[in-house]
Structure 1
Amino acid sequence: MIENVIKELTNKGFKVATSVYEMVPFYEAEDYHQNYYERHQKVPYCHSYRKIF
């Protein structure tokens, strides 16, 4: 599934730096971590949006 997305991006000329690992148990964070950006109404400084599909 994700391998197909990586292959498609690679075929479009993008260099994919993502590593894929087997799933491990997921532990949900504490309540004060939930919906952080919605609560603070800030654009995340470490994220950017670029539509490629």
Structure 2
Amino acid sequence: MLELGTNRIYGAKQQYGDEDRGVAQREYLGFSDDDEAMAAEILMDYLSEPLEG
């Protein structure tokens, strides 16, 4: 499993926004469906290379 994140206090405010302080939501963590598909394809290519010999 891969986990991404930050230990900075402002990280959650940027990810989710803060209406009380006027901070807009600016998602910067995570994978879109396209990103996930591309990562899986790259991983499978990498893992299959030794088997192709």
Same fold (TM over 0.5): no
Tell me which structure has the larger Cα radius of gyration: 2
Higher percent of residues as helix: 2
Q: Which has the higher contact order (CA 8 A, sep 6+)?
A: 2
TM-score norm. by structure 1 comes to: 0.19
